A and B are shown apart, each in its own frame.
Chain A
Amino acid sequence: MKRYADVRRRRVRAGLLLLAMLGIGQAAAWATNAPAPAVNSGATAWMLTSTALVLLMVPGLAMFYGGLVRTKNVLGTMMHSFSAMAIMGVLWVVCGYAMSFGKSACGGWCGWDWNYFLMRGIDEKVMPSGVPEYVFAMFQGKFAIITPALIAGAFAERVRFRTYCVFIALWGLLVYNPLCHWVWAPDGFLFNMGASGAIDFAGGTVVHVSSGVSGLVLALFLGARRGYPASAIQPNNLVMTLSGAGLLWVGWFGFNAGSSVASDLLTAQALTATQAAAASGALTWMLIEALHQGKATSLGVASGILAGLVAVTPAAGVVQPFGALCLGAAAALACFTAIQMKTRMGYDDSLDAFGVHGVGGIVGSLLLTFFIRKSWMAAAAAKTGAGAWGVFDQLKVQVAAVGIAVCYAAAVTCILAFVLDRVLGLRLEKEDEMSGMDHCLHGEQAYGMLNLG
């Protein structure tokens, strides 16, 4: 009880500070008056659709994860995704977009633009691509929503809801927004590294590597679930998991193809690569399981789909279908191995946030270097003064980007974990973990049984 009063006082003070900043910002902000380019309704229509598709991925993720936990924790697990939609959705509008895509501030650590605060200066802004800036901002906001929801997979069934909400808000502000700025803002330092920037078409580093690594840190920090690995923890609803995987696959077309911020050739290339990699990942995982344990499993197919999609996320716009097939297969192999190793090492990354997203993201971000289409490499070579840009030059850039993402995400997550555990308490009490999140945190029951009559 005392702790919560402390937190409330702190929140009130933070709210007052925010109001003060708002007042100062009001005086400083002014809207640009440049003539607006015409709206490209084809591109805008696709971007609107992509935005919706990516948002659909979040309930899809909720279903995927929800089906994998025990019945007593289904709603609690799905709440991790839905509350991310609520919290990150609001934060993005208030300051997320500004921090990610505003002009570099704080030495380039993040961006800032008072016009983007509350997205108030872009009411009539159309970007040079012919897409209204609202659409772009909302599209990017969906990425900010799904990333923390991915982390939740690592600490399923054992985290407090209130602390989780505070954690994702802070993680979004301190990890996602800066990382997004470094990789995708035109003045971000990873965007400008090397000849043509670090390649991260739709968020291999920004979304998957960062969330995977953060998940791993938290899984190690919190410790395993009660009874793991001695007692078997079975999925409660693989039908829901598979349905979720399907929604994720379809939604990923918005995730990857939409990251072209256009409706043109690049979009087509990204869509093709996405499909090829997903199918390849699924097939490879099926074959690996059939060879390794005699039976292909539905969970394996779902994992393979995800592994392929994660690996092609950084690569969708720069690889050709053959490269995509290879990436999907390589990711399936790497993630399968990672999960085997996890069992051997004994840590409880419950839903394989690191095993699939972390490992898949790293594999994709690095391996894509060997499959980049020639025209991209030629364009990059033209940009450098020397007129030459080789695969290994780009590989160095990729390694740097992945390394920076891993170290930064891990470090900040570590600090957040320690601080939040001290202030609010991160892990569920033993009794609550046994009773189940649905009952203790939400007072609800997932599946029927209330209306037998």
Chain B
Amino acid sequence: MRMITAIIQPSQLDRVREALIAAEITRITVMRVSGHGRQIGEEMYRGQKVVPSLLPKVQLSIAVNDAFVDITVDTIIQAARTDTGAVGDGKIFISPLEECIRIRTGERGGGAI
């Protein structure tokens, strides 16, 4: 089992979600976060060009069984890229997932994802 953490542009959220649902990855948690990588961006604010300290992003957390890692990652990359790819498109992190438990029934393991 793996936990896939994807940080994407907020404007791409709907595209990514629709693409994931179409690929039958339907269990997802979405958060609004702030951050930046090398993209520090420039904005116009009240007539002046300013560099914001943190940029708004969206973070997706998806727990998957090993067999679904590739399809999930590929789908996200495809849908989250803006145009042909721009600085700030985001990153995907994959971490091992130790355990997964369904609260309703108490079942554990891959079947509970």
Contacts and interface: CB of A to CB of B under 8 A. Distances in A.
Contacts of A440: 11
Interface in B57-79: none
Contact of B54 (A434, A436, A453): A453
Nearest to A449: B56
A450 B53 CA distance: 8
A120 interface: no
B34 A449 contact: yes
A449 B32 contact: yes
A445 interface: yes
A435 B54 CA distance: 20
A450 B52 contact: yes
Contacts of B11: 72, 435-436, 439-440
Contacts of B55: 450
Contacts of A450: 34, 52, 54-56
Contacts of A452: 34, 54
A445 B15 contact: no
A439 B34 contact: no
Nearest to B21: A231
A434 B53 contact: no
Interface in B4-32: 10-12, 14-15, 18, 32
B54 A445 contact: no
A431 B55 CA distance: 22
B75 to A, nearest CB: 15
Contacts of B54: 450-453
Contacts of B14: 72, 434-436
Nearest to B57: A449
A435 B12 contact: yes
Contacts of B52: 450-451
A434 B10 CA distance: 11
B112 to A, nearest CB: 26
Nearest to B35: A452
Which among B11, B12, B53, B56 has the highest number of chain A CB atoms within 10 Å? Answer: B11
A71 to B, nearest CB: 9
Given A436-B11, A439-B11, A445 B56 contact: yes
Contacts of A434: 14-15, 18
Interface in A404-453: 431, 434-436, 439-440, 445, 449-453
B12 A453 contact: no
B22 to A, nearest CB: 13
Nearest to B32: A449
A384 B15 CA distance: 66
Contacts of B10: 72, 439, 445
Contacts of A436: 11, 14
Contacts of A453: 34, 53-54
A72 B30 CA distance: 15
A446 to B, nearest CB: 10
A226 to B, nearest CB: 8
A445 B53 CA distance: 15
Contacts of A431: 15
Interface of A: 72, 431, 434-436, 439-440, 445, 449-453
Interface of B: 10-12, 14-15, 18, 32, 34, 52-56
13 contacts: A72-B11, A72-B14, A434-B14, A434-B18, A435-B12, A435-B15, A445-B10, A450-B55, A451-B52, A451-B53, A451-B54, A452-B34, A453-B34
Given A439-B11, A451-B53, A453-B53, 19 more contacts: A72-B14, A434-B14, A434-B18, A435-B11, A435-B14, A435-B15, A436-B11, A439-B10, A445-B10, A445-B56, A449-B32, A449-B34, A449-B56, A450-B55, A450-B56, A451-B54, A452-B34, A452-B54, A453-B54
Q: When A and B form their complex, which 10 residue pairs have the shortest distance between CB atoms, in order from nearest? A: A435-B11, A452-B34, A449-B56, A434-B14, A439-B11, A453-B53, A452-B54, A453-B54, A434-B15, A445-B56
